[in-house]
Structures are given as structure tokens and as C-alpha cells.
Amino acid sequence: MVGEWLQRVGSSIPRGFSRYFILELLTTKPYTGKEIIDAATQQSDGKWKPSPGLIYPLLGRLLDEGLIEESKDGKYQITKKGKDTSDDLQTVNKIIKNQLDVLLRIGNVGRFATMDVLERMNMLGSSLSSNVIKMTKEETQKYRKFLESELKKLDANEGKQGKEIKID
């Protein structure tokens, strides 16, 4: 998913993407900081090569937030809290993608609106992901219930669309 996204945006890496990229990458296996930089470069076909000055301070913040941990061999791995955060981001991304798909079907006006919504949602997602650690348990549960509710609506809507296609 991240690789596909990088292909579409080229060298325009939005603010907050590095954090998302690291969490997603670490869901697959542990990496060193250098391996994270190399993976970003490889997945973007060289269009994005994050500097150590970006990656290592970000790894420090993710460690402080308890989203990742460092093993004895110097590799970083995602924690349960980090996995939950990553899953929440995936849920938000799925909701946004489905909403954007609808807007894109509208035409040129939809494309303009889509780009605006995408930028706003990206900023919101980055803000949420960086503030999850500051949320109370009650706020986190409320946020999770909202996302689950939205996913159920999307799943129901997709089911209806599938039935409509089969009938025609």
C-alpha cells in the first residue's frame, strides 16, 4: 500500500508521512534505522530518501510514545500500542479512500474537492496519530467506536453495491 502511494505522489512527501511509513514498515518485521531509510528509497524507486536527521529523531519520538521499541541488536520493532495505532490509521485510510472514490466519480469538481479533502484528512490523521498517546482511555475508545461504526457503514454499502451489480 505504501509503495503504491509513493508511486502516485512522486517526490511530494506530505508532512507526517514519515511517521506513518515507519509504523507500517515495522508491522512487517524489525528494522534498523538505516534499513528503514533503505526501504523508503527502494519502495519509492529513489524518489524519496529520508535523511538520518529525519528518521532517527522520529524513531526517538516513537520510542518515547511507546509505539516502537528497540531490541538488543539495534533493530526497532512495533509494540502492541504501535500496532493498534497503525490499525487505526489503516481504518481511517480505508474510510477516506472510499469517500474519495465517491468524490472522484463526480468529475472535475469532485477531483478538486477530493484533493482538498485528502490534504485536510492527511493533516487530521497525522495530528490524531501523534496525539493518540495523549488521549484518555475513554477518548480512545470513543474514537475507536466511531471508526468501527464508519467501517460497518462502508461494508454495508459495499454489500449493497455488490448485490446491485449482480442483479443487473
User: Do 149 and 129 share a domain, yes or no?
Assistant: yes
SS3 76: strand
Does any domain span residue 149? yes
50: CATH: 1.10.10.10
- Residue for grid cell 509494540: 79
Percent of the chain clearing pLDDT 70 (strictly above): 73
CA of 137: how far to CAs of 66, 73, 79, 108, 140, in Å?
A: 15, 33, 17, 42, 5
User: Do 69 and 123 share a domain, yes or no?
Assistant: no
User: Do 150 and 95 share a domain, yes or no?
Assistant: yes
User: Do 88 and 61 share a domain, yes or no?
Assistant: no
Full domain range(s) for residue 92 = 82-160
CB atoms within 10 A of CB 125: 20
Q: What is the mean pLDDT of residues 7-19?
A: 63
User: Do 68 and 103 share a domain, yes or no?
Assistant: no
Does any domain span residue 166? no
pLDDT value of position 34: 96
* Amino acid in the structure at residue 33: G
User: Do 67 and 94 share a domain, yes or no?
Assistant: no
User: Do 88 and 129 share a domain, yes or no?
Assistant: yes
* Domain count of the fold of the chain: 2
Does any domain span residue 168? no
Mean pLDDT of the chain: 78
SS3 77: strand
pLDDT value of position 63: 95
pLDDT at 11 over 50: no
Domain boundary among 78, 106, 140: 78
Q: What is the mean pLDDT of residues 128-134?
A: 68
Does any domain span residue 167? no
User: Do 46 and 90 share a domain, yes or no?
Assistant: no
